[in-house]
Structure 1
Amino acid sequence: MAQILAPSTQWQLRTKLTSMSSSPITPKMWSSILLKQNKKGAVKSSSKYRVLSVKSVGGTINRMEDLLNLDVTPYTDKIIAEYIWIGGSGIDLRSKSRTISKPVEHPSELPKWNYDGSSTGQAPGEDSEVILYPQAIFKDPFRGGNNILVICDAYTPAGVPIPTNKRHRAAEIFSNKKVVDEIPWYGIEQEYTLLQTNVKWPLGWPVGAYPGPQGPYYCGVGADKSFGRDISDAHYKACLYAGINISGTNGEVMPGQWEYQVGPSVGIEAGDHIWCSRYILERITEQAGVVLSLDPKPIEGDWNGAGCHTNYSTKSMREEGGFEVIKKAILNLSLRHKDHISAYGEGNERRLTGKHETASINTFSWGVANRGCSIRVGRDTEKQGKGYLEDRRPASNMDPYVVTSLLAETTILWEPTLEAEALAAQKLSLKV
């Protein structure tokens, strides 16, 4: 009688893994395979070691992922709070974690904390303690559960805001009764560029060379047009989970460049949401092994720069007759053009050249549906006689606390002299 030999357990296991190589193997699937083999009693081993990882075509899955995804909620009331602040450059983000005894709903329930300011360029070594004040809370999309992200601003031990704390001044402006009554809305369009890690060259670009000219990439679809969509989509969902008021996303004109929009947000909330969304994006690109750049002109030449267009309206602008209020606001903005430009991001002069959908940094202009102006007014706003304006001058690396509060200050609180107002009205052809 012929002897029928059954395949070995190892061969069966290898076959299962090979057949599933077209899709990622999760830790749960790996555990299921091992469990089935152990139940059959086919595998006998005296080894005390457990399998830590398995390599497949799709990548490496290891037990650390189980711990990273571990839900501790059933076992403790404690949560992890990730305190986030802005570093010494005014654009770099820093964070560290601490355990909180129970879930919280408001920043006032969280303790103040401190950090070594001499290591972030924000304090001298002989007096390096900087105090973090919790200001806004978001759900943590990385740890899940009741864990939170905490946006903080920074103060000296005496309670004085440090120079890089732009939130403090913004909060003062947004708490002014005139500003509060106008309920300022913001919709911020954050553009960013994804770079390859080692060469700092845009994602999807041939190293040391250039792709085809701009044209097919804006909102493009396809492997030769869209580079980094998974990062954009992951960021989109993570922001929604966190409670950030993200309203959309799209591929940008330069390949490897993306944009997402946050808003409408009211007052100081706009800055909190943009900073938290940037932190989440930094964390996602960190995990993806891609470098995030907010440089306003990452590639010189015939390529679009990266901006942070800021859509803005007040209650008066949104009501009947609002177009006249918008034109008065534009007049004020024209008179403080230099003040705004100086606060709208480092390196912005490389972007605001009058080309690639920008106005010249030295000249203030406005127009209806004109993307080559400093201030753009939409066709719907003109038609309806009310709505909003778009400030196209801010760079991608701007501080949203500065830009949003400066817009409110210039258009609501600041009053030009009659002579300056008349001269500006004549120059801009504004019928006010």
Structure 2
Amino acid sequence: MAHMLVPSMQCRMGITSNSIQARPIMTAKTWNSLLSNARRPKTKKSTSTFKVLALKSDNNGAVSRLENLLNLDITPFTDKIIAEYIWIGGTGIDIRSKARTVPRPVEHPSELPKWNYDGSSTGQAPGEDSEVILYPQAFFRDPFRGGNNILVICDCYTPSGEPIPTNKRYRAAQIFSEKKVINETPWYGIEQEYTLLQPNVKWPLGWPVGGYPGPQGPYYCAAGADKSFGRDISDAHYKACLYAGINISGTNGEVMPGQWEYQVGPSVGIEASDHVWCSRYILERITEQAGVVLSLNPKPIEGDWNGAGCHTNFSTKSMREEGGYEVIKKAILNLSLRHKEHISAYGEGNERRLTGKHETANINTFSWGVANRGCSIRVGRETERRGKGYLEDRRPASNMDPYVVTSMLAETTILWEPTLESEALAAKKLQLQV
């Protein structure tokens, strides 16, 4: 069916439909006046008010046309969808992705085909045998493409089906599939802190280039152009995560200016880590569009500035029931005995953050306390009062792998049993009665 061309002509010439409707009916007097004006010689001041915008080649027009194409809704015309396959690269923290067409919308990850990529380009395979296979494990609605399009969280395997060394999800899935762990229904609430950096100079957003803002204090959960830097990015990320189906529960400005935090959870088992990884991917894409650099460095600025952590709140069914406080203390005891193992897996560069200052415990010393943010493990006042609840592991760095941290917490507190002797010594040292 032919489409009317008049509206598009009006747009190109800068005429609105309202201006046409408001124009009076043409009379003989008006027509003669127009003819008379047309015969008069043109002066420099007599310029046309009608501008053919289509002929202008400015960047704004190009951007507008590009945005129109990006926002196209393909749903009425095809059942096909775009699936963005996301995986973790060779550093263990870099996020990679590529897109493919899928014939129709899906309801479960098992309906999505496996795919492959060049592992030699991500530091995950040698050049002579570079194929790495992507296994779809979870998917979310795509806030960038909209419609039925999806973001797909994958883990990585060799062509023979063996998990590659950087595939931390595989081991986590094994732990979370243990019957004892399933019966305890482990809940996680993960607090992801991050820093926004100015491009090129790699200096925090809102900071004077090569200089420093005023001391910490006014910036935490603050409002105002001189105190809050990057709120639009935080809010855009918040809404995008809700759209995607990520269980994001809140966000706030952090202690160091240019630093933010969002929380994912409470989520059960491995789902918590899938949600955190997808939320990180969305944040990377949003900062990319904003022309800002995302940093998960646990201590982006040396000196008297807070670092960036990924505090992990954790509870089991037994902790949440009557008598749960004793179960929490037993879990803390187990965590103290495996402190070194946890610290070694809690993020690169964490020793620069865990100094005993800026609301952290010293990396070499395990400690716990009620409402104490300077401890390794914090227990809330409400948990102490009610005699049940959860604990907060404050040791993980902002660049930690949530698959590793969540599965280690479950393994250490649910599956692992220390010897009676080591348990007694640890209880005495921590003054725990269990």
User: How high is the TM-score relative to the length of structure 2?
Assistant: 0.89
1:338 maps to what in 2?
Answer: 340
How far is 1:105 from its partner? 1.2
Compared CA separation, residues 52 and 94, structure 1 to 2 (3 A): farther
CA deviation profile, 1:231-252 (whole Å, cap 9, x unmatched): 0000000000000000000000
User: Does the 8 A contact of 2:296 with 2:308 survive in 1?
Assistant: yes
1:120 to 105, 119, 122: 122
Determine if the alignment matches structure 1 residue 263 to structure 2 residue 265: yes
1:392 to 391, 394, 397: 394
**Aligned residue type for 1:259:** E
Matched residue of 2:146: which SS? coil
User: Does the 8 A contact of 1:188 with 1:263 survive in 2?
Assistant: yes
1:280 maps to what in 2?
Answer: 282
How far is 1:44 from its partner? 8.8
Measured in 1, the distance between the counterparts of 2:347 and 2:228 equals 27
User: Does the 8 A contact of 2:14 with 2:50 survive in 1?
Assistant: no
User: Does the 8 A contact of 1:366 with 1:373 survive in 2?
Assistant: yes
Compared CA separation, residues 44 and 220, structure 1 to 2 (3 A): closer
User: Does the 8 A contact of 2:132 with 2:157 survive in 1?
Assistant: yes
1:97 maps to what in 2?
Answer: 99
Matched residue of 1:192: which SS? strand
Measured in 2, the distance between the counterparts of 1:150 and 1:326 equals 35
| 1:108-187 alignment, distance < 5 Å | 108-187=110-189
How far is 1:36 from its partner? 4.0
| 1:357-396 alignment, distance < 5 Å | 357-396=359-398
How far is 1:62 from its partner? 2.0
**Aligned residue type for 1:325:** V
Measured in 2, the distance between the counterparts of 1:292 and 1:101 equals 34
How far is 1:55 from its partner? 6.8
Identity %: 83
CA deviation profile, 1:171-229 (whole Å, cap 9, x unmatched): 00000000000000000000000000010000000000000000000001100000000
Measured in 2, the distance between the counterparts of 1:340 and 1:384 equals 28
Q: Which has the larger radius of gyration?
A: 2
Matched residue of 2:358: which SS? coil
1:246 maps to what in 2?
Answer: 248
**Aligned residue type for 1:256:** G
CA deviation profile, 1:332-365 (whole Å, cap 9, x unmatched): 0000000000000000000000000000000000
Measured in 2, the distance between the counterparts of 1:31 and 1:329 equals 68
2:415 maps to what in 1?
Answer: 413
CA deviation profile, 1:356-382 (whole Å, cap 9, x unmatched): 000000000000000000000000000
Measured in 1, the distance between the counterparts of 2:108 and 2:197 equals 36
User: Does the 8 A contact of 1:81 with 1:98 survive in 2?
Assistant: yes
1:312 maps to what in 2?
Answer: 314
Compared CA separation, residues 378 and 116, structure 1 to 2 (3 A): same
Measured in 2, the distance between the counterparts of 1:262 and 1:212 equals 31
CA deviation profile, 1:101-136 (whole Å, cap 9, x unmatched): 001111000000000000000000000000000000
Measured in 1, the distance between the counterparts of 2:14 and 2:153 equals 43
Aligned residues between the structures:
401
Compared CA separation, residues 80 and 51, structure 1 to 2 (3 A): farther
Measured in 2, the distance between the counterparts of 1:53 and 1:318 equals 63
1:50 to 40, 54, 60: 54
User: Does the 8 A contact of 1:87 with 1:122 survive in 2?
Assistant: yes
User: Does the 8 A contact of 1:53 with 1:61 survive in 2?
Assistant: no
User: Does the 8 A contact of 2:168 with 2:404 survive in 1?
Assistant: yes
Determine if the alignment matches structure 1 residue 209 to structure 2 residue 211: yes
Measured in 1, the distance between the counterparts of 2:49 and 2:159 equals 63
How far is 1:61 from its partner? 4.6
Matched residue of 1:62: which SS? helix
1:11 maps to what in 2?
Answer: none
User: Does the 8 A contact of 1:53 with 1:62 survive in 2?
Assistant: no
User: Does the 8 A contact of 1:81 with 1:149 survive in 2?
Assistant: yes
Measured in 1, the distance between the counterparts of 2:14 and 2:137 equals 47
User: Does the 8 A contact of 2:12 with 2:54 survive in 1?
Assistant: no
1:16 maps to what in 2?
Answer: none
Measured in 2, the distance between the counterparts of 1:54 and 1:183 equals 57
**Aligned residue type for 1:273:** H
Measured in 2, the distance between the counterparts of 1:182 and 1:218 equals 36
Compared CA separation, residues 32 and 112, structure 1 to 2 (3 A): farther
Measured in 2, the distance between the counterparts of 1:216 and 1:51 equals 50
1:226 maps to what in 2?
Answer: 228
Matched residue of 1:123: which SS? coil
Measured in 1, the distance between the counterparts of 2:103 and 2:303 equals 54
Determine if the alignment matches structure 1 residue 75 to structure 2 residue 90: no
**What's the Cα RMSD here?**
2.2
1:6 maps to what in 2?
Answer: none
Measured in 2, the distance between the counterparts of 1:186 and 1:30 equals 53
Matched residue of 1:66: which SS? helix
